[in-house]
Amino acid sequence: MRVITGSARGKRLRTLEGLEVRPTSDKVKEAIFSIIQFDLPGASVLDLFAGSGQLGIEALSRGAEKAVFVDKSKNSINCVRENVESCGFSDRSKIIISDGIDYLRSCPAFDIVLLDPPYRLGLVEKALLGLEGKVSENGSVICEHEAGLVLPEKISGLIRKKEYSYGKTVALTTYILEE
């Protein structure tokens, strides 16, 4: 796993081993950042269910001003911290050990929210419900989830903008604030 482009381009990132870990493929990561590329410079980013932190780190590498990484696993948080430090982004990062849904109850608003929770646990839907008032004006939410999951058209003041499919296992759904 590596940073695709930007100031940390080519930097190798550590990931955890095991069945509970599902790193985002380079193909899907490239698709995510093609969608939000013009929104990244100066943005505040939330990498919820951060895992290794690769999505938030990619955002920082591409010009995001700051990123908050949230995961409830101590092992994941240690991995995020190591990756953030090795890329030189410690001063622009905040790393929080917390349940993602709990964190949403008291967090500030973000310009870009990246959701990549474990599949088939209903966490995407719960996170979307928790995002009411947590997305900045002109902000966006990118949800990586299992293929076949149909997310609502409208939820928490957000409206579904587009859906993308990547093979039989991965899909992306994007949301923006409802006008």
CA dist 85 → 52, 55, 78, 104, 154 (Å): 12, 15, 11, 25, 38
pLDDT tens for each residue of 67-114: 999 999 999 999 999 999 999 999 999 999 999 999 999 999 999 999
Decide if 93 contacts 66 (C-beta within 8 A).
yes
Evaluate if pTM is beyond 0.85: yes
b/e sequence 132-164, b meaning 16+ C-beta within 10 Å? eebbeeebbbbbbbeeeeebeeebbebebeeeb
Alpha helices in the chain (DSSP H): 26-36, 54-61, 74-87, 100-104, 123-130
Q: Are 13 and 60 in contact (CB under 8 A)?
A: no
- Residue 40: burial class (beta carbons within 10 Å; 0-12, 13-18, 19+): buried
Mention every residue, 6+ apart, whose C-beta is less than 8 A from residue 31: 164, 166, 172
In eight-state DSSP terms, residue 52 is: T
Residue ranges of domains in the chain, CATH in brackets: 26-163 (3.40.50.150)
Query: How confident is the model at residue 79, as a pLDDT?
Result: 95
Position 169 scores a pLDDT of: 78
